[in-house]
Structure 1
Amino acid sequence: MMRGVRALAVLAALVLLTGATAMDPDNPTCPAKPDFGPKTAMTLKTAQRGGKLVLLAEGAIDPTLPTRLKAAIEADDRIEEIWLRSRGGDVSAGNEAGRVIRSYRGMLTRVPSGWTCFSACNFVFMGGDRRVIDEGGVFMVHMFTHTNDRALIDEVVIEGSKATTELITSIEQSSAMLASEDNDFLIRMGISRKLLTDIMYKQQAVKRDDNPSTRYCLSQAEVREYNVMPVEKPAP
C-alpha cells in the first residue's frame, strides 16, 4: 500500500514539473505560455526590488517609448536596473530605446525569471551595458524584419494563398539580410554577430506546413556564447 502511495506521489510531482516547464510544440525551445505582459503600450513604473530601485517596463513597444523612457530615467537618478517584459512592437522605437538606455553608463537591463522579452524588446534589452537574463527568464528572438505590423502580415497569410505566404517569406528574408541598421546596432551594443547568422537569420518569417517554428528562445549557455548576457553576471 505504502509503495503505491509513493508511486502516486512521484507521478504527481512529475506532472507538476512537466506543467511548469511545458514547451511550445511549434517552437520547441520556447515555453508554451510565454509571459509577454500586457498587450497595451509599455508602462514604466518604479519599484523597490531587492533593496534597489528598478524601472519596470511592461507592455508593447510603441513609437512614443524612447521619449517616455528617457523621461522616466531622468525623473529619478536612483534607478539602477530596467526590468523588461514585452511581446515587441515598433522595431525602430526598440532600437532608439536601446540607445537611450546605453546613454546612461552602468544601467543594467534584466529579464526576470518568468518574464519574456521578444522581438523589438530584444533591442531595448541590448541597450544595457550590463545585461542579465535570470534563470527562467526568456529571451525570445525571430527573424529580423522591417515590417512593423506583424499582425497585418499574419492576417494576410491567413487569408491568402500558399503563393502569398511564400512571397512574404521571400520579402522578409531579403529584408533581414539587408537589415544593416539592425546589424550595426547589435555590433555597437557588443553582441556577437553570430547571433544574427547562427540564430536570427535562420528563423522563418511565417509558419510552414512542414515546419511551424518561427521563434527561438536562447538557453543560458547561448545568451553567454553570443554575449547577450556578459559572462560575469552581476550579483542579484
Structure 2
Amino acid sequence: MSALALLMAVSLTATEVETAIAAIPPDPDNPSCPRTLNWSTYREMRFTLEKTEARRILKAEGRIDADAATRLQQALKDNNPVDEIWLRSPGGDARVGNEAGAMIRKAGIPTRIPQGWACFSACNFMFMGGPIRFVDDGGIFAVHMFTHLSDKEAVHAEVAQSADKAAQVIGDVEQDSAMLASEDNDFLIKMGVSRKLLTEVMYKQKAVAAGDGDKSTRRCLTLMEAVKYNVANAQ
C-alpha cells in the first residue's frame, strides 16, 4: 500500500497527518508534490454516491472527458440532494472542467479534495466551482501551465511538413491558448478565486519538461497557499 493510500485508509489527527505527509518522498522532478499523486486512473470520469448518516457525497473520479459535464448533470439529477462533491482527477478537457465547475456553482454544492486525493489541471476548475471549498490535510491541489499539445506526435508530424505548416500550427496553438487564458481569468473572477493564482503560480510553470536542469511541470499548493489564493475558503 502506498503512503497516500495509507492516509486514506486510516483516521488520523491533524498532527499525525502532517507527520505522515512529511514521510512521503517528494517527486524529484516536481519537489512541491509527492512522488505519487492519487488522482484516479479511470479514462472517463465516474460519479458515484456515498451516503453517510449526515451527508450525501457525490464522488467525481477519473479523467475529465468530453462528456463529463453531461454525466455530472445527470448524476446531480439522479442523486438529488447532493451535500458535497469530492474530486480525484488527473484533469483532462480544460473547457469541460470549466463547464462542470460552472454547473457545480449553479447548483450551490460545496466541493472537497479529501485527505490523500489529488485534483490536477482541469480538475482545478471543476473544484473551484464549489461556493464552499475544502482542501483537507493531505489533499493535493496541483496546478500546471496548460498546453494544447496533448497529442505531441501529431503536432510534430504537422510541423515537419513545412515551415508554413509549422507557422500555422504555432499560430493556432497561440490563439487557442490566449482564448483559454481569458476564459480561465473570467472563471476565477466569477468563482471568487484570486487571479494571482494564474499569474503567480500556474503561468510560472513550464508547459513541458526542460532537457536539462529544472524539469518541474507541476506545482502542488500548500494549504497556506490554497487559503491565500482563496482556492480553499473553508476549513
TM-score (norm 1): 0.79
Task: Figure out how many residues of one structure are paired with residues of the other and give that number.
Answer: 206
What is the CA–CA distance in structure 2 between the aligned matches of 1:169 and 1:110, rounded to whole Å? Answer: 37
Q: Displacement of 1:210 after TM fit?
A: 2.0
Q: Displacement of 1:113 after TM fit?
A: 0.6
Instruction: State how 1:1-236 maps to structure 2 within 5 Å.
Output: 20-49=23-52, 51-105=54-108, 107-145=109-147, 147=148, 150=150, 152-153=151-152, 176=177, 179-208=181-210, 209-230=212-233, 232-233=234-235
Instruction: Return the letter of the residue paired with 1:202.
Output: K
What is the CA–CA distance in structure 1 between the aligned matches of 2:155 and 2:139, rounded to whole Å? Answer: 32
Root mean square deviation of aligned Cα: 2.8
Q: What is the aligned partner in structure 2 of residue 7 from structure 1?
A: none
Q: Percent identity?
A: 46
Deviant stretches of 4+, over 3 Å? 16-20, 154-157, 167-178
Q: Which runs of 5+ in 1 are unaligned?
A: 1-15, 162-166
Compared CA separation, residues 39 and 156, structure 1 to 2 (3 A):
farther
| SS of 1:39 mapped into structure 2 | coil
What is the CA–CA distance in structure 2 between the aligned matches of 1:91 and 1:116, rounded to whole Å? Answer: 17
What is the CA–CA distance in structure 1 between the aligned matches of 2:172 and 2:138, rounded to whole Å? Answer: 34
**Does structure 2 retain, via aligned residues, the 8 Å contact 1:176–1:201?**
no
Q: Displacement of 1:176 after TM fit?
A: 4.9
Q: Displacement of 1:141 after TM fit?
A: 0.2
Compared CA separation, residues 154 and 200, structure 1 to 2 (3 A):
farther
**Does structure 2 retain, via aligned residues, the 8 Å contact 1:143–1:203?**
yes
Q: Which protein is bigger by CA-based radius of gyration?
A: 1
Q: Displacement of 1:30 after TM fit?
A: 0.4
| SS of 1:63 mapped into structure 2 | coil
TM-score (norm 2): 0.79
Q: Displacement of 1:153 after TM fit?
A: 2.7
Q: Displacement of 1:38 after TM fit?
A: 1.9
